Amino acid sequence: MVNALLDKWFHPNRAKQQELQDRIKELQELSNLALEIGNRQIYKNLQVESNELLMKYLTYAFFDGLRFLAPHLFILAIISTKISSIHLPVSIPALGDKLSIVFPYIVVAVLANYLYKKYKRKRDCLPV
């Protein structure tokens, strides 16, 4: 239930993206056939349509990516109002003894995402 809601929030255009992917594959196959028979005009027209659909697909993917990043930016903004940096016991050559909170947040977020995907993969493989 929660996964479905999160998936709908983070990927609202997933069905449209899948339709576009299928149509692009179909157009590529038709383009290959047109190329094999030597009809350059049909090939060119199919490539133009395929490129237009690809741009539409990339637009959907871009906005889905923004929806994924927005909560992280919000959380990072809230955390950085309370903790701006971490003082290290040693000085790192390029960074000094202060480390911005952004770096640990990115490491924790990537690690949490990896562990979540690993857990989800294991859960999906378990027999019912």
**pLDDT digit string (tens) for 51-96?**
999 999 999 999 888 888 888 889 999 998 888 888 888 888 877 8
Side chain identity, residue 117: K
Phi and psi for 7 in degrees, rounded to 5? Answer: -65, -40
Domain-wise residue ranges, the chain:
1-67, 83-128
Residue 128, pLDDT > 60, answer no
Confidence of residue 15 (pLDDT cuts 50, 70, 90): confident
- The average confidence (pLDDT) of the chain is 87
Question: What is the spatial distance between Cα 11 and Cα 63, in angstroms, rounded to a whole number?
Answer: 9
- Please give the model's pTM, rounded to 2 decimal places: 0.65
pLDDT tens-place string over residues 98-124? 888 888 899 999 999 899 888 888 777
Torsion of CA 112, 118, 119, 125, to 10 degrees: 170
pLDDT for position 53? 96
Contact of 31 with 50, CB cutoff 8 Å: yes
